[in-house]
């Protein structure tokens, strides 16, 4: 967004947008995969990690507060 609006590169979002979406989906699938492999309880750990990925910098908080305890 800063490149598009502050530096006048309107076409950059056509490339970065789908890339960002693909990486987000990869993160979600990877979280589900790790949750299954590590036998996380979905309602306790996996769900919280998935919610945290929507909140900006939420994954850093989850990593420090919840995942280090596992």
Query: pLDDT per residue over 16-67, tens digit each?
Result: 889 999 999 999 999 999 999 999 888 888 888 899 889 988 888 888 877 7
pTM of the model: 0.73
28 contacts 53 by C-beta, under 8 angstroms: yes
**Distance separating alpha carbons of residues 69 and 67, to the nearest angstrom:** 5
Give the pLDDT confidence score for residue 70 in this predicted structure: 63
Give the pLDDT confidence score for residue 9 in this predicted structure: 77
Q: Tell which residue, 49, 29, 51, has the closest CA to residue 41.
A: 49
- Which residue matches tokens 């789908």? 18
């Amino acid at each position: 967004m800063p490149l598009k609006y502050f530096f006048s590169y309107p076409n950059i979002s056509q490339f970065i947008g789908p890339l960002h979406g693909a990486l987000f989906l990869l993160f979600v699938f990877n979280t589900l995969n790790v949750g299954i492999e590590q036998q996380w309880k979905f309602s306790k750990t996996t769900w919280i990690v998935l919610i945290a990925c929507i909140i900006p910098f939420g994954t850093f908080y989850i990593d420090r507060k919840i995942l280090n305890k596992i």
